[in-house]
Chain A
Amino acid sequence: MELDHIRNFCIVAHIDHGKSTLADRLLEHTATLDQRQMREQVLDSNELERERGITIKLHAVHMDYRAQDGDEYELNLIDTPGHVDFTYEVSRSLAACEGALLVVDATQGVQAQTLSNLFLALDADLEIIPVINKIDLPGAEPERRQFEVAELLGVEPETVLLASAKEGTGISEILEAIVERVPPPSGRWEAPLRALIFDSYYDKYLGAVPSIRVVDGVIRPGMTIAFGNVASEYEVTEVGYMRLKRFPQKELGPGEVGYVVAAIKEVADTRPGDTILDARHRAKELLPGYQEVRPMVFAGLYPTNADDYEDLRDALDRLKLNDASLQFEPETSTALGFGFRCGFLGLLHMEIIQERLDREFGVDLITTVPNVEYHVRLTGGEELAIESPSSLPDRGKIDSVSEPVVKVRILTPSEYIGNVQKLCHDRRGVFKSMNYVDTQRVELDFELPLAEIVLDFYDKLKSGTRGYAAMDYEFLEYRPDDLIKLDILVNGDPVDAFSVIIHRDKAFQYGRELTSKLKELIPRQQFEVALQAAIGPKIIARSNVKALRKNVTAKCYGGDITRKRKLLEKQKEGKRRMKQVGSVEIPQEAFLAVLSIGE
């Protein structure tokens, strides 16, 4: 296809503003998929994605469109993940485009994610086509939103398109605007191959299949390819573009978007942002913007039943095939036995992995308190990266501990400014700026330690703003602070799964809350159980679980033994789900309790 008849674009939107529905309409309108196939597509897609209304994996779809000028165009819709955990991946798929549809809900207006994604799109120099969606809804205020978005982008209100993806209105106008306003890609046929990887999935027959955008040159079967940042070479067996399935092509030229099959062993070889090169004729310069993806949030995952350890490893291996950003390595906890320390891009990523392990692989898990990576400077000057509280060295050896700080953008109706300010202050936040997005809504910018938002910040933000606030964050820098390790001792023994690294000012309250919560959750044993919170040798809070005094069904009536036995079976089942720590049995809920401290 000639370069000037190719348009590569994406859709950026806040969650639930109708991105998927709009994409479906575009596919329908260009006769890429008929309605029957649409339904199948919905059925085929990841169950989790549909439930959470978010797109986890990226896809690119190729559409043929005959425009009003009578010419046939190749439109490539490149999907982007909608959540901040995947910011880097969003930026790589944006780099494969020249334009973006900015979709805004006509009832809700601009949201925090709309802004973050818009800024990413502007950073990538994309032509923005604003679309107000859901104009059919009763509460829709299309004109107000048109004006608001025009002001945000510095364009004329009439260039903001109106649509209802649900009703199918405004779709032709959008397709025409894509052809007219999105610039065609530029690139050179004769130059050595440079193709951007913006996504990859694992197929058990084909190996890792990267989604690519060819920038220069041509890729075709029979070529040997290499990568800019991975030392492997593979022979290409197939190239093509995706619809519902693969459509093999003779070749992909500059500006085109498609996939490559080359029996690539693992997804980790096909890193988003990396450049695919012709191994026999390497381009001198790689495409810009590649970064190693680094996990931000860490947690220990342990099988509830020790026998499931191998199953958990297999499940993680299989998830990793498709998700190179998931990191894990074996870890041993004195309390929880054998498990894995896992690194995630963010909280949502962690939740998704947990849910998939449970749902797709049926592994019952205990998750330890999520934490961030700390940078520790030892008195000798040596630097360490700590991913787990239990690996923090002795206090005497530590010179300083630094923690990651993130830039947080919160959008809230103005009446909740006070609540948001208070929440961020409680979480050691530093207020940076405040802007009115429109007359009722404010954008607040804070710098917050990432550790302070990994647990329940988002829930607290939602409840403090009646569900109206939206937030987004990105990594800023590492900063030293007065961070210490807090241990929980059960009958005198520290239980590593309860240890946290925490700011000194918060340790006392945290210790008190956790010990009293544990007191409720640890069932009475045949002896008294002492629960203590300690910083080093110093006990800062304590609580006791009294000894079990009585556990008997005194009278066994009229031969009704079945009912009594069922109660015993229930007790036995509960006991099986407990973890034995020393002589104390601790139920799974106790490990989860740590996650809900402060409620």
Chain B
Amino acid sequence: MGREGSWGDLSPGDLVIGSVYVHAPFCARRCFYCDFAVAVRRSGEPQSWAEAIGKELEILGAEGLAPLAPSLATVYVGGGTPSLLGPTAMDRLRRALGPGRLEHPELEWTSEANPESLTLDVAEQWRRAGLTRLSLGIQSFHEGTLRWMGRLHGAGGARSAVAAARHAGFENLSADLIFGLPSFLDRSWRTDLEATVALGVTHISLYGLTAEPDTPLGRSVRKGRTRIADEDRYREEYLEAHRFLTQEGFVHYEVSNFALPGFESRHNLAYWDGSPYLGLGNSSHSFLPPIRRWNLRAWDAYLERVHEGRLPVEDSEVVRGEAAQLEALWLGLRTSRGIPRDQLGSPAACALVAAWEAKGLASPVGPRIVLTPEGWLLLDRLAVELSEALPTRTTA
């Protein structure tokens, strides 16, 4: 793959896409544990970024590969650090996406932002451009922890960022928190949870620290210099978050996401329920069932390709049969909607789910099966088990 003109078989047919992800690759520095597609810059390059996104969309359109709905239901700008792009970024993006695309009355338009770069100016101009939701990379309120992680904001950063967002008129605010940190940091998870709730956010995402192999953290763990939390502590903190946040009125609606009722992220739900989505920018993924494709990972390579008028796609795959089944189970089990019981097409699968229920890993909710928090802790294993127990679908 990767040759020009070889994408004819990716034609989406009658599909219409209502969700778009846009990657903003710039970060002022790379965090200790991060393995995302990031370009380290002192400041973002909003103009070339928005131009590239617009150009990519143009190329996709010419190839018939971006059948966007006239007005989109959800847009999510992730990174990297989108707030590093500065106050003009969202207005530029609005123009890059084309007239009318962001006029949906129910539009959910989220951008990630880091406390240190979400200034009042940025928040206000973004709000004016039409952004409806901010996802703040808070991670922790503990000074030592933030420093160890390589974050650029301090303990007070979260509060001032939330204040700026509020002042600009954002009501729908999400906070990212990290758990499962090394014990030597002496960070109190409970304290951070309480502080987050006290900020009055409407949505909380949890991120369990994992030592990805190609990160400084991964190398440090491999060499035995750093010990990340053991499984028991990971488990305890996860369950503690569930207990505390649900008690505070949050709904644990997906493995790592909590929301006040009505504030669930609709964009993320599109990923989990198998809806089509378009990814723009380097390293982004698109799903036009049954085809998933993804862009070149490096910003420079992406930019070069787009400027040459060529698709920046790295590769694609057709998700069918066993792979599609495994994906659907895994994604379905992630959410509190679960999967329909009548999908358990074999006695082995029914027996397996009955065993989960007996062990408190799953519970029936109406005609559906939903994992409990204990079940979510074993999500990958359970999805694999269930897909083993099901007869392979023979879809063409």
**B residues 276-291 in Cβ contact with A at 8 Å:** 277, 279, 283-287
Q: Are the CB atoms of A548 and B378 closer together than 8 Å?
A: yes
Q: Are the CB atoms of A552 and B271 closer together than 8 Å?
A: no
Q: Are the CB atoms of A565 and B380 closer together than 8 Å?
A: no
Please name the residue on chain B nearest to A562 by beta carbon: B292
CB contacts between A and B, total, < 8 Å: 102
How distant is A575 from chain B, measured CB to nearest CB, in Å? Answer: 6
Q: Are the CB atoms of B285 and A551 closer together than 8 Å?
A: no
Instruction: Of the listed stretches A63-71, A100-108, A204-212, A566-574, name the one at the interface; the rest are far from the partner chain.
Output: A566-574
Q: A559 interface residue, CB < 8 Å from B? A: yes
Q: A558 interface residue, CB < 8 Å from B? A: yes
| Bound CA span A557–B137, Å | 14
How distant is B391 from chain A, measured CB to nearest CB, in Å? Answer: 15
| Bound CA span A575–B277, Å | 32
Chain B residues whose CB sits within 8 angstroms of the CB of A280 once the complex forms = none
| Bound CA span A190–B384, Å | 77
Q: Are the CB atoms of A555 and B205 closer together than 8 Å?
A: yes
Q: Are the CB atoms of A562 and B205 closer together than 8 Å?
A: no
Instruction: Given A549-B231, A565-B323, A568-B330, check contact A558 B279 (CB 8 Å).
Output: yes
| Bound CA span A560–B35, Å | 13
Q: B327 interface residue, CB < 8 Å from A? A: yes
Q: B302 interface residue, CB < 8 Å from A? A: no
Q: A440 interface residue, CB < 8 Å from B? A: no
Chain A, residues 116-150, CB within 8 Å of chain B (1/0): the string is 00000000000000000000000000000000000
Chain B residues whose CB sits within 8 angstroms of the CB of A571 once the complex forms = 380-381, 384
Interface size on A, residues (CB 8 A): 25
Q: Are the CB atoms of B21 and A548 closer together than 8 Å?
A: no
Q: Are the CB atoms of B234 and A549 closer together than 8 Å?
A: yes
Instruction: Given A558-B284, A560-B285, A561-B271, check contact A568 B317 (CB 8 Å).
Output: no
Q: B109 interface residue, CB < 8 Å from A? A: no
How distant is A351 from chain B, measured CB to nearest CB, in Å? Answer: 33
Q: B260 interface residue, CB < 8 Å from A? A: no
**B residues 334-363 in Cβ contact with A at 8 Å:** 334, 359
Q: Are the CB atoms of A569 and B323 closer together than 8 Å?
A: yes
| Bound CA span A576–B384, Å | 10
Please name the residue on chain B nearest to A524 by beta carbon: B231
| Bound CA span A562–B76, Å | 19
B36, B255, B272: the one within 8 Å of A554 (CB): B255
Instruction: Given A549-B234, A565-B326, A569-B323, check contact A558 B381 (CB 8 Å).
Output: no
Q: Are the CB atoms of A526 and B285 closer together than 8 Å?
A: no
Q: Are the CB atoms of A551 and B381 closer together than 8 Å?
A: yes
| Bound CA span A556–B267, Å | 12
| Bound CA span A548–B234, Å | 12
Q: A435 interface residue, CB < 8 Å from B? A: no
Q: A391 interface residue, CB < 8 Å from B? A: no
| Bound CA span A568–B380, Å | 7
**B residues 286-301 in Cβ contact with A at 8 Å:** 286-287, 292, 294
B21, B294, B327, B384: the one within 8 Å of A575 (CB): B384
Q: Are the CB atoms of B377 and A551 closer together than 8 Å?
A: yes
Q: B208 interface residue, CB < 8 Å from A? A: yes
B235, B255, B285: the one within 8 Å of A562 (CB): B285
A526, A553, A559, A569: the one within 8 Å of B326 (CB): A569
| Bound CA span A183–B207, Å | 86
Chain B residues whose CB sits within 8 angstroms of the CB of A576 once the complex forms = 388
Q: Are the CB atoms of B21 and A559 closer together than 8 Å?
A: yes
Q: A550 interface residue, CB < 8 Å from B? A: yes
Chain B residues whose CB sits within 8 angstroms of the CB of A557 once the complex forms = 36, 78
Q: Are the CB atoms of B285 and A561 closer together than 8 Å?
A: yes
Q: Are the CB atoms of A553 and B380 closer together than 8 Å?
A: yes
Q: Are the CB atoms of A555 and B292 closer together than 8 Å?
A: no
How distant is A313 from chain B, measured CB to nearest CB, in Å? Answer: 27
Q: B232 interface residue, CB < 8 Å from A? A: yes
| Bound CA span A568–B379, Å | 10
Q: B206 interface residue, CB < 8 Å from A? A: yes
Q: B111 interface residue, CB < 8 Å from A? A: no
Q: Are the CB atoms of B381 and A554 closer together than 8 Å?
A: no
B21, B36, B210, B381: the one within 8 Å of A526 (CB): B381
| Bound CA span A568–B284, Å | 21
Q: B217 interface residue, CB < 8 Å from A? A: no
Chain B residues whose CB sits within 8 angstroms of the CB of A565 once the complex forms = 323, 326-327, 330
Q: Are the CB atoms of B377 and A549 closer together than 8 Å?
A: yes
How distant is A490 from chain B, measured CB to nearest CB, in Å? Answer: 19
Q: B93 interface residue, CB < 8 Å from A? A: no
Q: B23 interface residue, CB < 8 Å from A? A: yes
Chain B residues whose CB sits within 8 angstroms of the CB of A560 once the complex forms = 285, 294
How distant is B36 from chain A, measured CB to nearest CB, in Å? Answer: 7
Q: Are the CB atoms of A550 and B234 closer together than 8 Å?
A: yes
A551, A558, A567: the one within 8 Å of B78 (CB): A558
Please name the residue on chain A nearest to B375 by beta carbon: A552
Chain B residues whose CB sits within 8 angstroms of the CB of A551 once the complex forms = 377-381
Chain A residues whose CB sits within 8 angstroms of the CB of B255 once the complex forms = 552, 554, 556
Q: B73 interface residue, CB < 8 Å from A? A: no
Q: B132 interface residue, CB < 8 Å from A? A: no
| Bound CA span A549–B380, Å | 12
| Bound CA span A567–B385, Å | 14
How distant is A570 from chain B, measured CB to nearest CB, in Å? Answer: 10
**A residues 523-581 in Cβ contact with B at 8 Å:** 526, 548-562, 564-565, 567-569, 571-572, 575-576
How distant is B325 from chain A, measured CB to nearest CB, in Å? Answer: 11
Instruction: Given A551-B380, A572-B388, A576-B388, check contact A559 B232 (CB 8 Å).
Output: no
Instruction: Given A562-B294, A568-B326, A576-B388, check contact A552 B380 (CB 8 Å).
Output: yes
Chain B, residues 54-95, CB within 8 Å of chain A (1/0): the string is 000000000000000000000010100000000000000000
| Bound CA span A549–B236, Å | 10
A550, A555, A559: the one within 8 Å of B231 (CB): A550
Chain A residues whose CB sits within 8 angstroms of the CB of B279 once the complex forms = 558-559
Please name the residue on chain A nearest to B278 by beta carbon: A559
B231, B292, B378, B385: the one within 8 Å of A561 (CB): B292
Chain B residues whose CB sits within 8 angstroms of the CB of A561 once the complex forms = 271, 285, 287, 292, 327, 331
Q: Are the CB atoms of B379 and A552 closer together than 8 Å?
A: yes
Chain A residues whose CB sits within 8 angstroms of the CB of B359 once the complex forms = 526
How distant is B64 from chain A, measured CB to nearest CB, in Å? Answer: 21
Please name the residue on chain B nearest to A552 by beta carbon: B379
How distant is A403 from chain B, measured CB to nearest CB, in Å? Answer: 43
A548, A556, A558, A572: the one within 8 Å of B384 (CB): A572
Chain B, residues 256-286, CB within 8 Å of chain A (1/0): the string is 1000000000000001100001010001111
Q: Are the CB atoms of A555 and B23 closer together than 8 Å?
A: no
Contact residues of A with B, CB < 8 Å? 526, 548-562, 564-565, 567-569, 571-572, 575-576
Q: Across chains A and B, which 7 residue pairs bring their CB atoms closest together, nearest first?
A: A549-B231, A554-B208, A551-B381, A552-B379, A559-B285, A550-B231, A554-B256
Can you name 22 A-B residue pairings with CB atoms under 8 Å? Answer: A526-B378, A526-B381, A548-B381, A549-B231, A550-B238, A550-B377, A551-B381, A556-B255, A556-B271, A557-B78, A558-B283, A558-B285, A559-B279, A559-B287, A560-B294, A561-B287, A562-B317, A568-B380, A569-B323, A571-B380, A571-B384, A575-B385
Q: List 14 additional A-B contacts (Cβ < 8 Å) besides A549-B231, A562-B285.
A: A550-B378, A552-B376, A552-B377, A554-B210, A558-B78, A559-B285, A559-B287, A561-B271, A561-B285, A561-B287, A568-B330, A568-B380, A568-B383, A569-B326
